């Protein structure tokens, strides 16, 4: 018989693997998540499946509709706008707080990452390096709650960032590359204010670029709409 502890552990494992599928783009925005299929895939009962989905719902990756089912979170224009505006403020704060805590070796690695991003040949490589770069710039901040918030925002915006990265493959990405190098330069100079302003503008530019593409958003809030 399945215990509460076992169900909780299995639920976390289900959440971990589904999270990876969503972040890697294996499950698309708005795609239905069949609980029966998950139960069979993980050889589990419905209880840990529901627990795993609830974890992902709390992270903004999954939408659960009572008596209907679960879906990968849709691309929603309002939520996109709110999350990106939140990122502009929070990540500016975290970066300013991080600068004094970064070691010389961490800063050297940031420079290498900025250089590597300029050579990214596909969207997935760009996304991986870009996320590594930005989260590494925040590594010197001693604010666990803010780090948790930043990670949640990055996870919940993965589909938007993938669209942005795919668009970059068809256009010059010189502005993005230049901004990354300017951020590193401000970190080297320990210019907290400039660094904060740069990351705020960097995120804002992405927000405005994607907001100008209303075709990417799934209009209905009803997963079956």
What pLDDT sits at residue 3?
56
Q: Answer yes or no: do 9 and 68 share one domain.
A: yes
Q: Answer yes or no: do 106 and 189 share one domain.
A: yes
Domain that holds residue 169: 77-215
Non-local (6+) Cβ contacts of 206 within 8 A are 84, 160, 161, 164
What pLDDT sits at residue 67?
84
Last residue of a domain, one of 55, 72, 89: 72
225 confidence band (pLDDT: 50, 70, 90): very low
Query: Where do we find the tokens 């250089």?
Result: 115
Does residue 223 have a pLDDT over 60? no
pTM for the structure as a whole: 0.87
Contact present, 185 and 197 (Cβ < 8 Å): no
The count of domains in the chain is: 2
What pLDDT sits at residue 6?
64
Distance in angstroms (rounded) separating the CA atoms of residues 30 and 216:
12
Segment 145-174, tens digit of pLDDT? 999 999 999 999 999 999 999 988 666 689
Contact present, 42 and 4 (Cβ < 8 Å): no
* More confident position, 89 or 219: 89
């Amino acid at each position: 018989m399945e215990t509460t502890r076992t169900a909780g552990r299995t639920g976390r494992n289900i959440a971990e693997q589904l999270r990876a599928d969503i972040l890697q783009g294996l499950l698309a925005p708005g795609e239905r998540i069949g609980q029966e299929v998950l139960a069979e895939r993980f050889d589990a009962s419905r209880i840990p499946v529901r627990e795993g989905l609830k974890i992902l719902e709390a992270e903004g990756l999954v939408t659960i509709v009572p008596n209907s089912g679960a879906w990968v979170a849709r691309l929603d224009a309002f939520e996109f706008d709110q999350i990106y505006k939140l990122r502009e403020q929070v990540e500016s704060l975290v970066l300013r707080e991080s600068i004094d805590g970064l070691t010389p070796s961490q800063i050297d690695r940031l420079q290498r990452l900025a250089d590597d991003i300029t050579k990214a040949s596909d969207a997935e490589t760009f996304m991986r390096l870009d996320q590594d770069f930005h989260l590494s710039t925040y590594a010197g901040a001693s604010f666990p709650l803010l780090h948790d918030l930043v990670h949640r925002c990055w996870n919940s915006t993965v589909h938007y960032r993938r669209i942005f990265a795919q668009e970059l493959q068809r256009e010059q990405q010189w502005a993005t590359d230049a901004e990354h190098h300017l951020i590193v330069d401000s970190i080297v100079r320990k210019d907290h204010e400039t660094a904060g302003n740069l990351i705020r503008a960097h995120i804002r530019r992405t927000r405005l670029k994607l907001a100008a593409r209303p075709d990417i958003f799934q209009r209905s809030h009803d997963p079956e709409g």
